[in-house]
Structure 1
Amino acid sequence: MQALRRPHAITLSLVLLTLFGALRPSPAHAQRRRSARTATPAEAGPQLYRSANFHMMTDLPRDEARELLQRLETMHRLVAAYWGRRNTRPIEMFVVDDLSNWPAERLQQMDPQGLASIRAQAGLTMTQVISNGKQFASKSVVYAVADHGTPQHEAVHAYCGHAFGNAGPVWYAEGMAEVGKYWRENDKSVGASEYVIQYLRNSPIRPLNDIVNNPLETTGDSWQNYAWRWALCHLLGFNENYTKRFKPLGLALLAGRKANFWQVYGTQAQEIEFEYRLFIQDLEPGYRCDLCSWDWKTRFRGVTSASPTVSRIRADRGWQASRLQVRKGQTFRYSCDGEWELAKGEEAVTADGDDQGRGRLTGIYFEDYELSEPFELGAEGTFTATQDGNLFLRCGDAWGEIADNSGTIKVELTLDEEAAVTPPEPQSP
Structure 2
Amino acid sequence: MDESVAPSPEHRSLADLLDQQDDSTFPPPVIPSPPTPQSRGPEILIDDGKVAAAGIRKLTSQHLTLYTDVPAQPAVDDLPAAFTAAVESWCRYFGIDPLHVIDWQMIGFLMQDRLRFEAAGLLPAELPPFLNGYQQGMYLWADEQADDYYRRHLVLHEGVHGFMSQFLGGIGPPWYAEGMAELLATHRWQDGQIQVAIMPQDRAETPGWGRIRIVQDQLRAGQGMMPISIMNYGPQAHLQNEPYGWSWALVAFLDGHPDYRERFRSLHHRIRDTDVTLACQQLFAADWIDLNEQWQIFVVDLDYGYDLERTAVQRRPVQPLPVDGATVSIDASRGWQSTGIRLDAGSTYQLQASGRYQVGQTSDIWWCEPGGITIQYHQGQPLGLLVGAVRDESQPLTELSPLTRPEPVGLSRVWTPTSSGTLFLKINESAASLADNQGNVTVQIKLQDNALFPDAPD
Report the equivalent of 1:11. Answer: none
Q: Structure 1: where are the runs of 5+ without partners? A: 8-18, 32-44, 128-139, 423-429
Give yes or no for contact 1:52–1:90 (8 Å, CA) kept in 2: yes
Give yes or no for contact 2:338–2:425 (8 Å, CA) kept in 1: yes
Query: Does the residue aligned with 2:284 lie in a helix, a strand or coil?
Result: helix
2:87 corresponds to which of 62, 73, 76? 76
Distance 1:186 1:396, change over 3 A: farther
Report the equivalent of 1:134. Answer: none
Amino acid paired to 1:374 = P
Give the superposition deviation at 1:30. Answer: 5.9
Distance 1:110 1:165, change over 3 A: farther
2: distance between equivalents of 1:392 and 1:113? 57
Give the superposition deviation at 1:279. Answer: 2.0
Give the superposition deviation at 1:364. Answer: 2.1
Distance 1:393 1:90, change over 3 A: same
Query: Does the residue aligned with 1:332 lie in a helix, a strand or coil?
Result: strand
1:230-245 to 2 correspondence within 5 Å? 230-245=248-263
1:96 corresponds to which of 99, 108, 111? 111
1:319 aligns with 2:330: no
Give the superposition deviation at 1:93. Answer: 0.7
Amino acid paired to 1:242 = Y
Amino acid paired to 1:397 = E
Report the equivalent of 1:179. Answer: 183
Q: Which has the higher contact order (CA 8 A, sep 6+)?
A: 2
Report the equivalent of 1:15. Answer: none
Give the superposition deviation at 1:395. Answer: 2.3
2:133 corresponds to which of 114, 119, 123? 123
Give the superposition deviation at 1:141. Answer: 0.6
Distance 1:397 1:68, change over 3 A: farther
2: distance between equivalents of 1:382 and 1:5? 60
Report the equivalent of 2:67. Answer: 57
2: distance between equivalents of 1:244 and 1:301? 30
Deviations 1:16-74 (A, max 9, x none): xxx9995556265166xxxxxxxxxxxxx421112232211122333121343454344
Query: Does the residue aligned with 1:144 lie in a helix, a strand or coil?
Result: strand
2: distance between equivalents of 1:69 and 1:291? 36
Distance 1:304 1:54, change over 3 A: same
Amino acid paired to 1:333 = L
Give yes or no for contact 2:117–2:123 (8 Å, CA) kept in 1: no
Query: Does the residue aligned with 2:312 lie in a helix, a strand or coil?
Result: coil
Query: Does the residue aligned with 1:168 lie in a helix, a strand or coil?
Result: coil
Query: Does the residue aligned with 1:362 lie in a helix, a strand or coil?
Result: strand
Query: Does the residue aligned with 2:338 lie in a helix, a strand or coil?
Result: strand
Deviations 1:290-311 (A, max 9, x none): 322222x412323213253212
1:26 aligns with 2:48: yes
Aligned length: 375
Report the equivalent of 1:142. Answer: 140
2: distance between equivalents of 1:335 and 1:103? 67
2: distance between equivalents of 1:205 and 1:104? 40
Report the equivalent of 2:386. Answer: 361
Give the superposition deviation at 1:113. Answer: 4.2
Q: Which runs of 4+ in 1 moved over 4 A?
A: 2-7, 19-25
Query: Does the residue aligned with 2:249 lie in a helix, a strand or coil?
Result: helix
1:348 aligns with 2:363: no
1: distance between equivalents of 2:240 and 2:47? 30
Amino acid paired to 1:174 = E
Report the equivalent of 1:405. Answer: 436
Report the equivalent of 1:158. Answer: 162
Report the equivalent of 1:287. Answer: 306
Distance 1:195 1:335, change over 3 A: closer
2: distance between equivalents of 1:281 and 1:273? 12
Give yes or no for contact 1:342–1:359 (8 Å, CA) kept in 2: no
1:391-402 to 2 correspondence within 5 Å? 391-399=423-431, 401-402=432-433
Q: Structure 2: where are the runs of 5+ without partners? A: 3-35, 189-194, 201-205, 377-381, 454-458
1:374 aligns with 2:385: no
- Higher alpha-carbon Rg: 1
Distance 1:364 1:77, change over 3 A: farther
Query: Does the residue aligned with 2:308 lie in a helix, a strand or coil?
Result: coil
1:262-273 to 2 correspondence within 5 Å? 262-273=281-292
TM-score scaled by structure 1?
0.77
1: distance between equivalents of 2:429 and 2:75? 37
Report the equivalent of 1:112. Answer: 125
Identity score, percent: 18
